[in-house]
Amino acid sequence: MVNKMVNKLRKELTERQREILQTIKDYILQHGYSPTIRQLGALVEIDHPSAVFKHVLSLEKKGYIKRVDGDLQLSGFPSPSETRVRVPLVGLVPAGHPREVFDSTPEALDVPAWMVGRKKGNVFCINVEGKSMVDAYIDDGDRVLVERTNSASSGEMVVALLEDGSVTLKRLRVEKGKTFLIPENPEFDPIPAANLRILGRVVGVLRKY
């Protein structure tokens, strides 16, 4: 009976509302906080904030989201303050030109458990230095949660070890058998990386204002 009620509720959403709801969810999962109305509009390609806000109000009325102190929260989504886990903090990783910086530290951070999920014990945190990923909302000084892995799919953001021993944070792209590390800032050039080693993939971003 519960599943039937949930399914009935989901059918009340328009395609556009489903897209916006999924975009909000993906953004929160990646960044740890909700997008602004303008950021949300840019992500779903709606120019007018008032139009985006109308969709947000509709989602709120239908019980899918709620607004708390100006932030958007997914109804039924675990609150970051409910459960927290500790993850190790690793040395600076540049989101700019590659550098040889990837050192362990004795520090650790408490992060929302929902951001780590089943990856607990296999996630570490890095401080980002540089602005090559600003268009992906990862800026200088942010802290990024990274899942340890030696593989990743094209399109994922990764921490990669280059052939010269330097480490960088970029988006992985594989095209026609060639591998590139792509910045999210037009001021930076893609990096051809035939012999890179994947150290991890980004699962979340922490930012302090």
Question: What residues does 10 pair with on adjacent strands?
Answer: none
Annotated catalytic, 166? no
Contact indicator for 98, 183 with CB cutoff of 8 Å: no
SS3 (DSSP) at 122: coil
What pLDDT is stored for residue 3 in this prediction?
Answer: 44
Neighbours of 157 (CB within 10 A): 25
Rounded to 10 degrees, the C-alpha dihedral 188/193/43/205 comes to -90
Annotated catalytic, 61? no
Q: Which of 170, 176, 178, 208 is catalytic?
A: 170
What pLDDT is stored for residue 105 in this prediction?
Answer: 63
The residue among 198, 164, 203 whose CA lies nearest residue 179 is: 198
SS3 (DSSP) at 149: coil
Q: Which of 75, 81, 132, 153 is catalytic?
A: 132
Sketch out the chain's domains with CATH numbers: 2-74 (1.10.10.10), 84-206 (2.10.109.10)
> If the chain, 209 residues long, is cut into consecutive pieces of 10 residues, what is the mean pLDDT of each piece?
43 85 83 84 92 91 83 67 73 70 68 71 86 91 89 91 88 91 94 89 79
What pLDDT is stored for residue 180 in this prediction?
Answer: 94
Contact indicator for 171, 179 with CB cutoff of 8 Å: no
Q: How many Å is the Cα radius of gyration of the chain?
A: 19
The amino acid that residue 71 corresponds to is D
What pLDDT is stored for residue 164 in this prediction?
Answer: 83
